[in-house]
């Protein structure tokens, strides 16, 4: 299988920025299948205290995440890059089943193979309750 996800390394400022925007767009779709295709079959993740291995575990993790984190909305910002690595800072908002809104802040480090698939992702995330979301358009608020 010779899957490719453009842009491919080595990254420039322009292609790293594009890669970050593509990731933001995919995550905001809240589609676990779409998002998981950006990761290699043997990807390794640390997400807070969760450790995942493989695209299938990532897909399951994301399915569960977006059941709990409703009306999820994310913003990613390029922090730095090298030939095959990208670092981002991000924040996102969501509400739980009880209607309580949260904002999470974090940093991610990504490593990619030559085909542009992410082989490693480490995410450190902190969150806090908020009274009203700011990332969603006002007409989407309930």
Q: What is the mean pLDDT of each run of 10 residues along the chain (142 residues)?
A: 92 98 97 98 96 98 97 96 97 96 97 98 96 68 38
Any domain includes 130: yes
DSSP state of 26: H
Structural domain includes residue 8: no
CATH number at residue 37: 3.10.450.50
**Is 101:72 a contact under the CB 8 Å cutoff?**
no
What is the spatial order of strands in the sheet that 118-130 belongs to? 50-53, 39-47, 118-130, 101-112, 85-95, 70-81
Q: Is the dihedral of CA 11, 17, 21, 27 positive or negative?
A: positive
% of the chain surpassing 90 pLDDT: 91
Q: Give the tens place of pLDDT for each residue, 81-99.
A: 999 999 999 999 999 999 9
Q: Which domain holds residue 97?
A: 13-140
- Show the tokens assigned to 77: 């910002």
What does the alpha-carbon distance between residue 69 and residue 71 come to, in Å, rounded to a whole number? Answer: 7
Q: How many distinct structural domains can be found in the chain?
A: 1
Average pLDDT taken over every residue of the chain: 94
Q: Evaluate whether residue 120 is within a structural domain.
A: yes
Based on C-alpha coordinates, what's the Rg of the chain?
A: 15
Question: Rounded to two decimals, what is the model's pTM?
Answer: 0.92
- 6 belongs to a structural domain: no
Q: Is residue 128 part of a domain?
A: yes
**Of 82, 84, 102, which Cα lies nearest the Cα of 92?**
102
Could you tell me if residue 1 is inside a domain?
Answer: no
DSSP 4: -
């Amino acid at each position: 299988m010779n899957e490719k996800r453009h842009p491919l390394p080595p990254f420039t400022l322009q292609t790293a920025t594009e890669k970050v925007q593509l990731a933001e767009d995919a995550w905001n779709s809240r589609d676990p299948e779409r998002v998981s295709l950006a990761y290699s079959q043997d990807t390794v993740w640390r997400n807070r205290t969760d450790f995942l291995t493989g695209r299938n575990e990532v897909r399951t993790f994301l399915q569960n995440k977006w059941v709990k984190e409703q009306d999820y909305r994310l913003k990613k910002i390029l922090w730095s890059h090298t030939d095959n690595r990208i670092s981002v800072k991000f924040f996102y908002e969501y509400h739980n089943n009880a209607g309580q809104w949260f904002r999470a802040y974090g940093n991610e480090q990504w490593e990619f193979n030559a085909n542009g698939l992410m082989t490693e992702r480490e995410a450190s995330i902190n969150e806090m309750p908020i009274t009203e979301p700011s990332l969603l358009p006002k007409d989407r608020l309930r």
